[in-house]
């Protein structure tokens, strides 16, 4: 399996969705630094809001198409720590859009400083069987328009 490089995206995305977030006490460890697992939650929230920006919610997709997005692969590079009360921004950009999988390049920044980079792949699965299903056409079209 090829090693994922987080520093160099395969292509420069034309569109990046940005989601602002504040670091709260509950996000940090005893030293006031964001606990490493919390970054995964930040990335998830940003992808959820990006989907909402496209006009979809996870619950609507499950009801209408009986499908879910599930994380199938994740690679994270921690560059600098975020700290209590920081105003951070989480970006979402599609790096690769397949029939069943979407790979995102995501970053967490404080101002111009990159704090965390991630490459996250999600797959579409049937909500009952968890078997792979194709991304619905109307969802795909909105995703393609955001690439």
Q: Give the pLDDT band (50/70/90) at residue 10.
A: very low
| Known catalytic membership, residue 27 | no
Q: What is the pLDDT of residues 62-108, one digit of tens each?
A: 999 999 999 999 999 999 999 999 999 999 999 999 999 999 999 99
Structural domain contains residue 34: yes
Domains: count for the chain: 1
In total, the chain counts a number of residues equal to 147
Q: Which structural domain range is residue 109 located in?
A: 17-145
CA-to-CA distance for 36 and 14, rounded, in angstroms? 29
Domain membership flag for residue 9: no
Domain membership of residue 58 (yes or no) is yes
List 8, 18, 27, 29, catalytic entry:
29
Question: Are 144 and 97 in contact, with CB atoms under 8 Å apart?
Answer: yes
pTM: 0.89
119-147 b/e (C-beta count within 10 Å ≥ 16 → b): bbbbbbbeeeeeeebebeeebbeebeebe
């Amino acid at each position: 399996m090829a090693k994922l490089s987080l520093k160099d995206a395969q292509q420069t995305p034309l569109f990046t969705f940005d989601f602002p977030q504040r670091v709260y006490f509950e996000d940090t460890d005893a030293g006031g630094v964001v606990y490493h697992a919390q970054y995964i939650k930040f990335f998830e929230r940003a992808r959820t809001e990006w989907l909402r920006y496209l006009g979809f919610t996870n619950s609507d997709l499950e009801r209408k198409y009986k499908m879910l997005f599930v994380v199938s692969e994740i690679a994270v590079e921690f560059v600098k720590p975020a700290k209590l009360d920081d105003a951070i921004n989480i970006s979402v950009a599609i790096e690769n859009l397949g029939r069943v999988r979407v790979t995102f390049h995501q970053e967490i920044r404080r101002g111009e400083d990159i704090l965390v980079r991630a490459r996250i792949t999600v797959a579409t699965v049937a909500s009952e069987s968890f078997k792979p299903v194709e991304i619905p056409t109307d969802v795909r079209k909105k995703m393609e328009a955001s690439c």
